[in-house]
Amino acid sequence: MSSTTTVSIRNEGKVRYLTLNRPDKLNAMNQQLSNELSVALTAADRDREVSVIVINGEGRAFCAGADLSDSAGKGSSLAVADSIDESIAFYQQLVTLDTPMIAAVQGYALGGGCNLAMSCDLVIATDDATFGYPEVKLGMPASGVSPTLVHQIGRKAAFELLVLCENINATKALQFGMINRIVAAEDLMTQTQAMAQQLANYNHNALWLTKQLIRRCADMALPDALELGKDIGLKAKMYQP
Ligand code: COA
């Protein structure tokens, strides 16, 4: 498969692997990486041969967050604040993709890197993974990452992470409902492959429509969510051969 400078792209059957590829910088997200990842995600989401997307990181970290040196001569927090529109657009894209996404996390997942993992539908992490949101500690509002986290884990836990700014380990992340599974570092990719393959083996429409339903009904009152379930059930009936 093709690769860009900062994202390696490959297929394994119906699973598309997008690997952040700036290991020397712990896959910190500069503008190039977020642009290339965004383009790769759009392409994967439009490709009917792709049932599942896996996002992982090359090297010893998943992603150390926004690249704090990514600006022509600006101070770090100013650089991040300046790119807020692009960041939000990227995070909006992440949570509106139709394709189920799995994050495979090792080492650090910080700030925008943690948000990237939180935007995925399933997260598998190694037992030595570290999660955290250092934005406020760095003097920036956690404006890009807060909405996704609050939606995912609720106000109390999100406040603790976003405002105390203390990194947490995988066990605590599991308790907070941020991740689904903890595995040994050496098993990360085999376990991720197995999970991705399990999803890819299911009926494509059943999988995608269920993701759509989960995503949309999370923000609805229960009666409306049940109505949506009915609509999606009928839609699925139309897809039956
Ligand atoms: N932006 C730019 N470069 C980063 C980075 C980031 N967010 N995170 C790590 N790097 C770079 C380091 O500058 C270093 O590059 P160098 O070797 O050219 O000097 C390389 O990645 C390795 O990082 P290093 O700090 O040496 O590794 P470590 O294991 O000692 O520490 C961290 C790891 C994640 C604790 C530390 O790198 C860190 O605090 N990074 C910043 C995290 C952050 O604040 N993210 C922004 C959220 S808004």
Whole-Å CA distances, 188 to 15, 120, 123, 217: 16, 16, 11, 31
The DSSP code for 138 is G
- pLDDT, tens digit, for every residue of 212-234? 999 999 889 999 999 999 999 88
Q: Looking at residues 6-28, what average pLDDT do you find?
A: 98
pLDDT level of residue 75 (50, 70, 90 thresholds)? very low
**Average pLDDT value for residue range 205-212:** 94
Ligand 1: does its nearest atom lie under 6 Å from the Cβ of 70? no
When pLDDT is cut at 50, 70 and 90, the band that residue 72 belongs to is very low
Counting ligand 1 atoms within 8 A of each CB, the residue from 25, 118, 140 with the most, and so the one to mutate, is 25
Q: Which of 86, 105, 75 lies closest to 33, judged by CA? A: 86
Closest approach atom of ligand 1 to CA 138: 44
Nearest to 176 by CA among 90, 117, 218: 117
Query: In angstroms, what is the span from residue 142 Cα to ligand 1's centroid?
Result: 18
Task: Report the separation in Å between the CA atom of 47 and the middle of ligand 1, taken as the mean of its atom positions.
Answer: 34
Binned at pLDDT 50, 70 and 90, residue 84 comes out as confident
CA–CA dist 227, 230 (Å, integer): 5
Residue with CA nearest ligand 1 atom 21: 25
Q: Decide: 123 and 180 in contact? Cβ < 8 Å.
A: yes
